[in-house]
Amino acid sequence: MHSLRLALNVLATRDIALARQLFDEKPAMRSAERQATESHYERLRSGVLESIETSSIHLDVLRDLKRIHGHITSIAYPILEAADELRETRLRRAETPSHEGNFDLAMPQPKG
Protein backbone atom coordinates (compact mmCIF):
# COMPACT_ATOMS: atom_id res chain seq x y z
CA MET A 1 0.00 0.00 0.00
CA HIS A 2 2.91 2.36 0.69
CA SER A 3 4.03 2.24 -2.94
CA LEU A 4 0.53 2.91 -4.19
CA ARG A 5 0.14 5.96 -1.93
CA LEU A 6 3.56 7.19 -2.97
CA ALA A 7 2.72 6.67 -6.66
CA LEU A 8 -0.49 8.66 -6.29
CA ASN A 9 1.47 11.49 -4.66
CA VAL A 10 4.04 11.37 -7.48
CA LEU A 11 1.25 11.46 -10.04
CA ALA A 12 -0.46 14.40 -8.37
CA THR A 13 2.63 16.48 -7.56
CA ARG A 14 5.19 15.38 -10.17
CA ASP A 15 7.73 15.74 -7.35
CA ILE A 16 11.13 14.47 -8.50
CA ALA A 17 12.29 13.44 -5.00
CA LEU A 18 9.13 11.38 -4.50
CA ALA A 19 9.49 9.88 -7.99
CA ARG A 20 13.07 8.90 -7.15
CA GLN A 21 11.90 7.34 -3.86
CA LEU A 22 9.26 5.34 -5.73
CA PHE A 23 11.79 4.25 -8.33
CA ASP A 24 14.24 3.22 -5.59
CA GLU A 25 11.69 0.81 -4.08
CA LYS A 26 11.79 -1.49 -7.11
CA PRO A 27 14.91 -3.45 -6.11
CA ALA A 28 13.45 -4.11 -2.64
CA MET A 29 10.33 -5.58 -4.24
CA ARG A 30 12.40 -7.77 -6.56
CA SER A 31 14.40 -8.98 -3.57
CA ALA A 32 11.25 -9.69 -1.52
CA GLU A 33 9.73 -11.62 -4.42
CA ARG A 34 12.92 -13.63 -4.89
CA GLN A 35 13.10 -14.38 -1.17
CA ALA A 36 9.43 -15.41 -0.96
CA THR A 37 9.85 -17.66 -4.00
CA GLU A 38 12.95 -19.30 -2.52
CA SER A 39 11.13 -19.83 0.80
CA HIS A 40 8.28 -21.45 -1.11
CA TYR A 41 10.66 -23.76 -2.97
CA GLU A 42 12.28 -24.69 0.34
CA ARG A 43 8.87 -25.66 1.74
CA LEU A 44 8.26 -27.74 -1.39
CA ARG A 45 11.61 -29.52 -0.94
CA SER A 46 10.67 -30.16 2.70
CA GLY A 47 7.43 -31.79 1.58
CA VAL A 48 5.02 -29.35 3.24
CA LEU A 49 1.68 -30.64 1.95
CA GLU A 50 -0.07 -27.25 1.98
CA SER A 51 2.71 -25.73 -0.13
CA ILE A 52 2.57 -28.61 -2.60
CA GLU A 53 -1.19 -28.26 -2.99
CA THR A 54 -1.10 -24.48 -3.50
CA SER A 55 2.23 -24.10 -5.29
CA SER A 56 0.88 -22.82 -8.58
CA ILE A 57 -1.38 -20.27 -6.91
CA HIS A 58 1.39 -19.14 -4.59
CA LEU A 59 3.86 -18.55 -7.41
CA ASP A 60 1.20 -16.83 -9.54
CA VAL A 61 0.35 -14.43 -6.70
CA LEU A 62 4.03 -13.59 -6.13
CA ARG A 63 4.57 -12.96 -9.83
CA ASP A 64 1.41 -10.86 -10.10
CA LEU A 65 2.27 -8.75 -7.06
CA LYS A 66 5.67 -8.03 -8.58
CA ARG A 67 4.02 -7.09 -11.87
CA ILE A 68 1.50 -4.80 -10.13
CA HIS A 69 4.32 -3.14 -8.23
CA GLY A 70 6.15 -2.63 -11.52
CA HIS A 71 3.11 -0.88 -12.97
CA ILE A 72 2.78 1.28 -9.87
CA THR A 73 6.43 2.34 -9.99
CA SER A 74 6.23 3.05 -13.71
CA ILE A 75 4.44 6.27 -12.76
CA ALA A 76 7.86 7.63 -11.75
CA TYR A 77 9.54 7.04 -15.13
CA PRO A 78 8.15 9.96 -17.18
CA ILE A 79 8.80 12.38 -14.31
CA LEU A 80 12.36 11.18 -13.84
CA GLU A 81 12.94 11.11 -17.59
CA ALA A 82 11.72 14.70 -18.00
CA ALA A 83 14.13 15.74 -15.22
CA ASP A 84 16.98 13.83 -16.95
CA GLU A 85 17.33 11.57 -13.89
CA LEU A 86 17.40 8.21 -15.70
CA ARG A 87 20.25 6.30 -17.30
CA GLU A 88 19.89 5.23 -20.90
CA THR A 89 19.93 1.54 -20.01
CA ARG A 90 19.85 -0.81 -17.04
CA LEU A 91 22.11 -3.30 -18.81
CA ARG A 92 25.59 -3.87 -17.48
CA ARG A 93 28.36 -3.15 -19.91
CA ALA A 94 29.49 -6.22 -21.82
CA GLU A 95 33.00 -7.32 -20.97
CA THR A 96 33.76 -8.06 -24.60
CA PRO A 97 32.10 -6.42 -27.58
CA SER A 98 29.58 -8.73 -29.16
CA HIS A 99 29.60 -8.10 -32.89
CA GLU A 100 29.23 -4.32 -32.56
CA GLY A 101 27.27 -2.99 -35.49
CA ASN A 102 27.03 -6.42 -37.12
CA PHE A 103 23.35 -7.21 -37.48
CA ASP A 104 23.64 -9.85 -40.20
CA LEU A 105 21.46 -12.85 -39.53
CA ALA A 106 23.01 -16.27 -39.84
CA MET A 107 21.03 -18.22 -42.39
CA PRO A 108 20.97 -21.99 -42.28
CA GLN A 109 22.91 -23.57 -45.10
CA PRO A 110 21.02 -26.00 -47.33
CA LYS A 111 21.98 -29.62 -46.90
CA GLY A 112 22.95 -31.46 -49.84
Band (pLDDT 50/70/90 cuts) for residue 22 is very high
pTM attached to this predicted model: 0.68
* Rounded CA separation 89/72 (Å): 20
Q: What is the mean pLDDT of the chain?
A: 85
| Residue 102 pLDDT | 57
DSSP notation for 37-99:
HHHHHHHHHHT-HHHHHTHHHHHHHHHHHHHHHHHHHTTHHHHHHHTT-S-S--SPPPSS--S
| Residue 66 pLDDT | 92
The residue type found at 24 is D
